[in-house]
Structure 1
Amino acid sequence: MIAETVCSAVSVAGLGIAAVTAYRRKFLSAARLAAYSLVPLGLVMTGAVGWAVDTAFSPTAWAGFGVLGAAWLMFMGTRAAERRAAGGRREREAAGEAGRDAVAPGASAPSLGPGARTARPPKQQPKAGGAEDFSDIEAILKKHGI
């Protein structure tokens, strides 16, 4: 009884605010406010408010919500585990297929003979005295006229 009275009062107050908004020539906002204001009244008229109040104060209903939550968590957990397992399986299959397709059947791996090694230029050592090489930066600045 109290919930129905509160919902009706909220609807009347919302419709009053919508009327004031319409008086200020903001018809779109007034229509939106009127729509929101009619929702609680509609819920009262359908009996949904009475059902919600009975459900909110029922320990059995809360236990049911807990069971539903546990079922949802189990469902999402199994889906996550399934995706993780399927993802790893797909990666292993892709790696296996890539490994088989990379080399032609019957071909041998190339061998590295004595001439296969190429001499690499030695890495440039920083100049003594701690000065860093800014020649590339200087070239960029000169290019742009700075």
Structure 2
Amino acid sequence: MIAETVCSAVSAAGLGIAAVTAYRKRFLKAARLVAYSLVPLGLVMTGAVEWAAETAFSPVAWAGFGVLGVSWLLFMTTRAVERRGGGTRKERKAAARAAQSEAVAPAASAPSLGPAKPPATRPQPKAKPRAADSSDDFSDIEAILKKHGI
């Protein structure tokens, strides 16, 4: 009963402010204020305010809102995990099998830009003699570069 009275008072106050606004020749703003002012009155007339007032003071309704919150939290958590993990378990297994059976870049050993041109005639500095163990350090890197045609 008190909620209906408050909503009716809010509507009456809004209509009064709209009347003053219309008196000041701001008709568009006044029409918008009338529209906003009629919303609480319409809610009272439909019974939505009574339902909301009963819901606000019901422990069962608050428990229901809690259950809905937990449900939403679970949905968002599973969605985040699914995005981070790459989908469901079946999808990850299928992707792993496809990655094993298919090469990522089958033509990676072929040069992509054609044969290399010799550099311009620039005097090359004389290479310093390296120790035998320093060339072993770069042998793995050289093998990888040769494999990819670089």
Same fold, TM-score > 0.5, yes or no: yes
Unmatched runs of 5 consecutive residues or more in structure 1: 108-118, 122-146
Q: Secondary structure at the match of 1:101?
A: coil
Other-structure match for 2:106: 101
TM-aligned CA deviation for residue 60 of structure 1: 0.2
Alignment of 1:1-146 (within 5 A): 1-86=1-86, 99-103=104-108
Overall identity of the aligned pairs, in %: 74
Q: With the length of structure 2 as denominator, give the TM-score of the two structures.
A: 0.62
Residues 120 and 55 of structure 1: CA distance in aligned 2, closer, same or farther (over 3 Å): farther
TM-aligned CA deviation for residue 85 of structure 1: 1.2
Residues 98 and 58 of structure 1: CA distance in aligned 2, closer, same or farther (over 3 Å): same
TM-aligned CA deviation for residue 50 of structure 1: 0.2
Letter in 1 for 2:104: G
Letter in 2 for 1:67: V
Structure 1 runs (4+) greater than 3 angstroms displaced: 91-100
TM-aligned CA deviation for residue 34 of structure 1: 0.5
- State the number of aligned residues: 109
Q: Deviations over 1:106-142 (max 9, x none)?
A: x8xxxxxxxxxxx679xxxxxxxxxxxxxxxxxxxxx
Unmatched runs of 5 consecutive residues or more in structure 2: 111-123, 127-150
Letter in 2 for 1:39: V
| Structure with bigger RCO (C-alpha 8 Å, 6+ apart) | 2
Q: 1:120 & 1:78 partners in 2: Cα distance?
A: 61
